[in-house]
Amino acid sequence: MAEPEREAFRKLLQWGLRDEFRERQPDVRGRFTWWDYRAGNFHKNFGMRIDHLLPTASLGQRVLSVEIDREARKGKPIPSDHAPLVLDIDEPGKPFDPGWTDAEARIVARGGIRPS
């Protein structure tokens, strides 16, 4: 991203929004949401993290996990140049809805972070 975009993003964070992926995975590098597919950059893992989920601080307290789902774009004849950024939000202390328990296991298995 160019500096004007970086400055605009910093302003969003100054307003109190949180870069949830970075909050939960501060030391992780090399995880991207966009690749130039024409140059084969997905397979080289040469991309940018240009998609963001920016919850407020109060909503951020309800985040259970966040991940970039690279698998979603694999194996497609014409894949998107973006990978989904998945944010799992739930009420603390309440069980997941029945349909989501398997999804949670898949997310955690692929490296999604769930707080202890």
As given in the structure block, the two tokens for residue 101 are: 């328990």
Cβ neighbour number for residue 62 with a 10 Å cutoff: 13
Tell me: the pLDDT tens digits for 15-62? 999 999 999 989 999 999 998 877 889 889 899 999 999 999 888 888
Q: Tell me the domain boundaries of the chain.
A: 3-109
Report the alpha-carbon angle 15-17-21, nearest 5: 145
Using alpha carbons, select from 18, 16, 3, 53 the residue that is nearest to residue 33: 53
> What CATH architecture applies to the domain 3-109?
4-Layer Sandwich (3.60)
Share of the chain above pLDDT 70, in %: 79
In this structure, are residues 56 and 107 in contact, taking their beta carbons and an 8 Å threshold?
A: no
pTM here is 0.69
